[in-house]
């Protein structure tokens, strides 16, 4: 279903920011502000939203950080609406930056542009997209049609992610502010990337405003041909299904591709446990790498069924077909605790985020320690453990030290094989964007 965006109250948001707005007008009702048409309100009668901010926030923005927090705003000329373009001035009333205003979020403005004033229009989005595309130039060949085109803050699109699954683009937004700009952005994406369709996915906090104000919904096909539920794509020559309309993230865990590739190279003749297996991504790579057997362990019957379908999609590959497959539907913590004898040559632990907020960090760390310990106990001699964390609240350093600490408590002297973090199509340029880390260990 495609919606008529012309109904959006914010449609006319081709925000013009002429150079004569380089300085903040002294009078609130300056004619200049009226001339600066657009912004979210899209009307010449509405004054542009102007902010003055604390000195500390000023230097944070100058250093290139894309978030302005609500408590850093010293002065604001009017309340402001979701998705409206906010212009931030420094202490000398000179233009500093501009970004998307979200009155419902502590991150009140997500910065789109800093330095000199410029228009936010189709050309602007086109340039921003081009920069993200250039970064991925040469990363993937035709055997990989699923990857991330835009990774939010780290690609200059704060709070927005764009994933590609074959001919389907999935646009996921983490602030409803983006919805005000959706018509322009969809046009730019369609023109440049020529997808079969674009699916809109919404973070939970964006849903009420999306529905009530913009008539958008989670899983809505906002451009192109409709689909029922899943789409198929290629990752290094393997076929996978992505549940783009309602699945976790944008339908698949694209962020683990590089770890999956690494697992493939280590799997020959091994019996592999894939704990928190989801749709069997690691399992298929292990099978293609020549694993003797692969056991999927997940609490969700839905995930295990998806893994089954993904194996079926690749059954013409003889090596994959030869791999013995088992599946266990259980709570991984309980299952690992109940099965402690060495019976695998490789154990993969890729749980969901165990710390969604800072207050959960300590418990998450002890859960990671416990998982690593239980995983190590299952390893036969020369076995390999892959321990992953996608909790942003647990730092790289803390996670790696936790896994090492768990390994030290076993009687076996471990060797660290590798540590990995973000894949190149998932760059993390600010500390807050870093979440993924993984450690490979082997035991004698």
Residues that bind ligand SAH (CB under 6 A): 253, 256, 276, 278-279, 281-282, 298-300, 303, 331-333, 350-352
**Closest CB to ligand SAH among residues 135, 249:** 249
The answer to whether residues 299 and 330 touch, using CB atoms and an 8 Å cutoff, is: yes
**Closest CB to ligand SAH among residues 216, 389:** 389
Give the residue from 393, 399, 403 showing the smallest Cα distance to 441: 403
**Closest CB to ligand SAH among residues 192, 261:** 261
Residue 176, classified by CB atoms within 10 Å of its CB into exposed (0-12), middle (13-18) or buried (19+), is buried
The answer to whether residues 263 and 386 touch, using CB atoms and an 8 Å cutoff, is: yes
DSSP string, 62-80: HTT--EEEGGGEEEESS--
**Closest CB to ligand SAH among residues 210, 307:** 307
**Closest CB to ligand SAH among residues 81, 298:** 298
Q: Minimal distance in Å, beta carbon 259 to ligand SAH?
A: 8
Q: Minimal distance in Å, beta carbon 86 to ligand SAH?
A: 36
String of b and e for 112-138 (b: at least 16 CB within 10 Å)? bbbeebbebeeebbbebbeebeebbee
User: How many C-beta atoms lie closer than 10 Å to residue 159's C-beta?
Assistant: 22
Q: What is the DSSP letter of 136?
A: T
Give the residue from 190, 38, 68, 220 showing the smallest Cα distance to 129: 190
Strands 344-349 and 271-275: parallel
Strands 437-442 and 168-173: unpaired
**Closest CB to ligand SAH among residues 20, 312:** 312
Cα 404 to Cα 398: distance, rounded to the nearest angstrom:
10
Contact partners, residue 2, CB within 8 Å, separation at least 6: 221, 222, 223
Q: Minimal distance in Å, beta carbon 397 to ligand SAH?
A: 23
Cα 147 to Cα 162: distance, rounded to the nearest angstrom:
9
The answer to whether residues 387 and 102 touch, using CB atoms and an 8 Å cutoff, is: no
């Amino acid at each position: 279903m495609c919606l008529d965006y012309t109904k959006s109250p914010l449609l006319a948001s081709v925000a013009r920011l002429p150079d004569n707005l380089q300085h903040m007008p002294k009078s609130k009702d300056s004619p200049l502000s009226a001339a600066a048409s657009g912004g979210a309100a899209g009307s010449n009668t509405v004054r542009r939203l102007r902010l003055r901010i604390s000195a500390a926030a000023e230097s944070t923005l100058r250093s290139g950080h894309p978030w302005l927090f609500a408590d850093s705003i010293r002065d604001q000329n009017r309340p402001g609406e979701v998705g409206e373009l906010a212009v931030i001035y420094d202490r000398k009333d000179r233009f500093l930056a501009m970004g998307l205003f979200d009155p419902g979020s502590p991150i009140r403005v997500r910065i789109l542009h800093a330095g000199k004033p410029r228009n936010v229009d189709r050309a602007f989005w086109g340039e921003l997209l081009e920069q993200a595309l250039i970064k991925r130039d040469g990363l993937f060949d035709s055997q990989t049609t699923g990857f991330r085109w835009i990774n939010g803050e780290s690609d200059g699109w704060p709070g927005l992610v764009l994933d590609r699954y074959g001919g389907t683009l999935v646009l996921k937004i983490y602030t409803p502010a983006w919805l005000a700009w959706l018509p322009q952005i969809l046009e730019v994406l369609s023109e440049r990337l020529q997808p079969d369709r674009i699916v809109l996915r919404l973070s939970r906090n964006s849903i009420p405003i999306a529905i009530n104000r913009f008539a958008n919904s989670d899983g809505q096909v906002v451009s192109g041909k409709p689909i029922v539920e899943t789409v198929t794509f290629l990752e290094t020559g393997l076929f996978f299904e992505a549940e783009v309309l309602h699945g976790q993230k944008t339908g698949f865990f694209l962020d683990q591709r590089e770890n999956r590739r690494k697992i493939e190279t280590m799997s020959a003749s091994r019996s592999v446990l894939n704990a928190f297996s989801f749709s069997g991504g690691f399992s298929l790579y292990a099978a293609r790498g020549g694993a003797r057997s692969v056991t999927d362990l997940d609490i969700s019957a839905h995930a295990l069924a998806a893994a089954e379908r993904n194996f079926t999609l690749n059954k013409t590959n003889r090596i994959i077909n030869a791999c013995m497959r088992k599946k266990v539907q259980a709570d991984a913590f309980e299952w690992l605790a109940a099965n402690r004898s060495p019976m695998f040559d490789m154990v993969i632990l890729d749980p969901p985020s165990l710390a969604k907020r800072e207050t959960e960090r300590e418990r998450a760390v002890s859960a990671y320690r416990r998982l690593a310990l239980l995983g190590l106990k299952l390893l036969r001699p020369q076995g390999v453990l892959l321990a992953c964390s996608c909790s942003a609240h647990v730092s790289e350093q803390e996670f790696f030290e936790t896994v090492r600490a768990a390994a030290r408590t076993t009687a076996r002297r471990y060797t660290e094989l590798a540590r990995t973090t973000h894949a190149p199509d998932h760059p993390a340029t600010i500390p807050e964007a870093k979440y993924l880390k993984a450690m490979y260990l082997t035991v004698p």
